[in-house]
Amino acid sequence: MTLRDADFDVVRDRAVAKLQALVRIPTVSHRDPTLVDTDAFDAFVVELAAQFPLLHERLDLTRIHTHGLLFHWRGRADDRPVVLMAHLDVVPVEGEWRHPPFDGVIEDGVLWGRGTLDDKGCLAGICEAVERLLEQDLTPAQDIWLSFGCDEEVFGQAAPQAVAELVRRGVRPWFVLDEGGAIAYDAFPGVNPPIGVIGVTEKGVTSLELTVEGRGGHASTPAKMGPTARIARAIMRLEKSPFPGRRPHRPSS
């Protein structure tokens, strides 16, 4: 299918308007669940259904955790299932913004707002692609799963529970696509044009809590290698001992 320039403008404007509507809902994640505005997440789920009605009408939906969404688009075969992932939560707003972070302002062809890149842009792009294909009554060659998490920014439970649900159903993905890079400007020395970055590795996360004990004293006569110095030494040892990079190998069947 080819698009004329005028048709492309319509398709683009439609997709951008949908992303604007999603960006304007402040689905901010917090490590403390009591700080999460659940009304905003409720509103996002409702708005997503309003913006992508065919996706919600024709795909099977399973709710995951609090506001996670797992859609199943049945294909002609189920032996090579595809999983497309994104998340609807964003991190808290920090610093000064050129435009209010949840206004979804468009200036000089750029959409401003928290979550436009991480990761509502991916979510809206996936949903719009599926919506357009459903308008054409297309049935994919294989099963497709859309897995949208709600607490990715705080390493929450939605993604692990989505995995558990797929395992429960006997789904072993042939291909999984999660959020990756962006269109990066001035990201690489000597490269002037913007580059579409493809992420092919994953950085793990480890949280440690260090505790030291020591005798009391006075700051005028600090003890040698007191608690502060010892915890600083421990931090430097960790800094000098990063985990090595590795490439996992999938066992042959």
What does pTM read for this prediction?
0.82
Write out the two tokens for 28: 């901010």
Q: Using an 8 Å Cβ cutoff, are 169 and 98 in contact?
A: no
Spot the catalytic one: 119, 131, 143, 152: 152
* Residue where the block lists tokens 């979804």: 104
- Mean per-residue pLDDT of the chain: 91
Its sign, for the CA torsion 71, 144, 127, 87, is positive
Strands 183-184 and 106-107, how do they pair?
unpaired
pLDDT in tens, 98-118: 999 999 999 999 999 999 989
- How far apart, in whole angstroms, are the C-alpha atoms of residue 179 and residue 88? 12
* Catalytic site includes residue 89: yes
- How far apart, in whole angstroms, are the C-alpha atoms of residue 169 and residue 173? 11
Which residues, in sequence order, are CB contacts of 154 under 8 Å at separation 6+?
Answer: 29, 30, 31, 89
Query: pLDDT exceeding 90 applies to what percent of the chain?
Result: 70
Spot the catalytic one: 89, 128, 131, 151: 89
**Residue boundaries of the structural domains of the chain:** 5-196, 208-241
* Catalytic site includes residue 152: yes
Give me the CATH topology for the region 5-196: Aminopeptidase (3.40.630)
